[in-house]
Structure 1
Amino acid sequence: MHRTLPRLAAVTAASALTFVATAGIAMAQETEVPEPDTFTSMYTVMATPDTIINNDGESVPGQPGATGEFNFRINSDDEIICYDITLRGVTGEYESPAKTATHIHEANAGEPGPPRLAFPNPSGDGDTRNSSGCMQGPFTTGLEGDNGQDTATGFTLSQIEANPAGFSADTHTAEFAAGTVRGQLTEVPMGGVETGAGGASNDAAMYAVGAAGLAAVAGAGVVLVRRSRAQG
C-alpha cells in the first residue's frame, strides 16, 4: 500500500556537470503531469555552496550566501517525480550544457557524476526563486555521456529509491558553472503520526517540512502523512 505524501516547501543543492552537450540530442521526452494520488517515497535536499565539486573531482566554491531547498516526491510505479525547489541568494543567469541548469546527478558526496534528471529552472523576483511541478519519464537531460547516449537513458526513479545518498541536486549559473549550491538526497519517512487519541493523524492538512525542521522531525522518529485521496 502506498501512502500519499505532503507537498513540501523545497531545498536546493549543487553539483558539477561531467559531460559535454551535443546538438543532436533530442529535447525533453518527459511529460509534465498532474500530481498523482500516491507516492512510493520522498526526499529532501539541504543545498549549500560549500559542497561543489567540479568535473575533475575538485572542491570549488559555490555562490557565497546562497542556499537551496529541494523536495522530491516519487511514484516509481508510474515513473513520476514531483519537485518543489526554492533557491535563496542565487543570482545571475542560469547556464548549463544540459537543457536546463537544475538537476539531480548520480553522484556521491564529494564526487562528480552525470545528471539523470533536469528540472525547470526556478524563477522569481528578488532574493528567492521557485519551481514546482511533476514530470513523468522516460527522462532526458540533453547531455551526451561517454557511451554516446543521453545521460538519462535507462535511468529509472527506482535507482534513487535504492540509494538516495548516491544522488545530489544542484543548479548552475554562468558565474558558478560547477554549481551555486549542492546537497545529497535524504529520505523523508512515510507513515502515520500517532495522536493523543491513540490513532493515526490522517486529517486533510499537509505537514510542511523545511530544511531546518527535517532533522528534528527525523530525530524524534515522527513519520509524515496526510489523508490519502486514493489508497492502493
Structure 2
Amino acid sequence: MIRVLVADDQALVRAGFGVLIESADDLDVVGLAADGAEAVELTRRTRPDVVLMDIRMPVMDGLRATARILEEADPGTVRVLMLTTFDLDEYVFGALKAGASGFLLKDTPPADLLAGIRIVAAGDALLSPSVTRHLIEEFVRRPASTRPVPPSLDGLTEREVQVLTLVARGLSNSEIGQRLFVSPATAKTHVGRLLMKLGVRDRAQLIIVAYESGLISAHPPEPG
C-alpha cells in the first residue's frame, strides 16, 4: 500500500481527495492536514510515502512545508506532489526548488491524479511538458547573480552527460533508450547513477541542475 497524506486548507477539497484516494486498492490515506504546519506534524507522526500538498495555505504555505518535511525526512522516505489551482511559473519553480517531486493542477482528471501519486511514490518525477516549460522560463528570468552554484558535472561520463541532457528535455527512460539505442532498463540505470553522482533526489532536480550548470540552452528543441 502507498501511504498518502493530503494537505489542503479547503475542507471539501481535502475530504474529496481523501475519498478519491481511498477508492484505489493500492492507496491508503493516513492523514488530512488543513495547513502546512499541520502537514509537517502529521508527516512526522504518520510517515506517509507521498504528501499531496496544496501550495496556498494559511499558517505555513505548501512550499515552506515541503522544504521542512524533506529536510527532516531521510532521503527517499517521503515524496511531495504539489497541487494548486494556479498554473503560475513562480509556484512551479518554487515547488521544485523546495524538493517536490511533481506538480499538478487541481482540475487534473481523477485517474491522472491517482496515477501521479503512484509515479511519485515509485521515485520518478511528475513533470508534464507545460510544467517543464514553466520551469525553464522562470529560470531564464532570474538574474545570474541569484542562481545557486550547481553541482559540478566534471565527474560525469560522456554518456551520462547525454542522458542528463535528454532528461532535462523531458524524455522518459523509454524515449532516452530509443535515442541512445539502449534498453529502457539501461537508461534507468544511467539516471540512477546521475542521481547518486550529483546528490539529487529525482528527475525534477536533475532538470534544475542541467539548466543551472549551463549544460543545455534555455530553450531546448522539442523532442521528436
Q: Which has the higher strand share?
A: 1
Instruction: Name the TM-score class by shorter chain.
Output: under 0.3
Higher relative contact order (CA 8 A, sep 6+): 1
TM-score, with length taken from structure 2: 0.26
